[in-house]
């Protein structure tokens, strides 16, 4: 009996040459989570994959699931969306690369359509974003991806004891605890101090129903650092995140 492939919406997150003619792709799939699959013959001149296995290409993946181990076989990838605009500007590309990197490292190898849909929507938004807002939108979209993976920070009450944290006073922010601290807890922690405006900006960034806050270059940089630190602490566990490191250090507002 021939093995029937599983067909799922998918986005290519990375590819690696394997042997003379094949590639191993890491793929975000809507139905199976992030999976690895070998595309045999993908590097042959007349491969049926053609140019399909490009970074962040979106389409339908045809996967023969491995009976043992976790390396599946990709028998075909029908491209449906090529976001050419992502490759046209470094600011867009850098932001999209971080989204892909976070998905690749932290989405589970099990169905997790929430994060897949956030990633897919985020790539659309970044591809269409004017340069003047790529930086801000990138912060929002990255926070949304982090939240969809289950790591939303607590910003409306103390993350340790749930006490109210007045919105009109500076509040401590603990990366490790994952949120703001009341005065009592804040006194016992050395951490980032969030001014009232920084906290409301952060809340506005994360809430897609709210208008984007207006941030100058130094505040944008501070928010990039806060988010990077948060991702490294909660998700990375010391892993190397080159796309995040690159993104963090750049002012993406084009002069």
Residues that bind Zn ion (CB under 5 A): 158, 160-161, 163, 182, 185
Identify any residues that bridge with 81 across adjacent strands, giving them in sequence order. 58
Q: What tokens appear for 82 in the block?
A: 């090529």
Q: What tokens appear for 45 in the block?
A: 């001149």
| Distance, CA of 107 to CA of 28 (rounded, Å) | 8
| Distance, CA of 103 to CA of 115 (rounded, Å) | 8
Sequence-distant (≥ 6) Cβ neighbours of residue 99 within 8 angstroms? 119, 122, 123, 126, 141, 142, 145
Closest by alpha carbon to 250, among 33, 14, 92?
Answer: 92
Sequence-distant (≥ 6) Cβ neighbours of residue 250 within 8 angstroms? 91, 94
Closest by alpha carbon to 142, among 214, 54, 222, 208?
Answer: 208
DSSP H helical ranges for 19-89: 84-88
Q: Could you give the C-alpha distances from 45 to 15, 22, 88, in angstroms and in order?
A: 17, 11, 26
| Distance, CA of 39 to CA of 193 (rounded, Å) | 49
DSSP 243: H
């Amino acid at each position: 009996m021939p093995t029937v492939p599983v067909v799922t919406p998918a986005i290519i997150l990375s590819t690696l040459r394997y042997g003379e003619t094949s590639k191993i792709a890491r793929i975000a799939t809507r139905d199976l989570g992030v999976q690895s699959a070998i595309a045999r013959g993908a590097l042959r001149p007349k491969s049926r994959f053609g140019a399909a296995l490009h970074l962040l290409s979106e389409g339908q993946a045809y996967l023969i699931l491995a009976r043992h181990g976790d390396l599946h076989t990709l028998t075909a990838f029908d491209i449906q969306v090529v976001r050419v605009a992502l490759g046209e500007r470094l600011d867009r590309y850098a932001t999209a690369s971080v989204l892909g990197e976070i998905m690749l490292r932290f989405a589970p190898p099990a169905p997790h359509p929430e994060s897949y849909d956030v990633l897919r929507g985020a790539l659309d938004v970044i591809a269409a974003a004017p340069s003047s807002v790529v930086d801000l939108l990138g912060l929002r979209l990255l926070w949304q991806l982090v939240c969809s993976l289950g790591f939303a920070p607590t910003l409306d009450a103390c993350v340790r004891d749930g006490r109210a944290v007045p919105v009109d006073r500076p509040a401590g922010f603990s990366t490790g605890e994952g949120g703001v601290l009341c005065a009592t807890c804040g006194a016992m922690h050395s951490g980032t101090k969030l001014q009232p405006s920084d906290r409301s900006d952060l809340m506005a960034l994360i809430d897609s129903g709210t208008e984007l806050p207006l941030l100058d270059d130094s505040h944008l940089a501070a928010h990039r650092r806060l988010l990077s630190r948060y991702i490294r602490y909660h998700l990375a566990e010391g892993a190397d995140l080159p796309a995040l490191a690159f993104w963090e250090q750049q002012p993406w507002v084009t002069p």
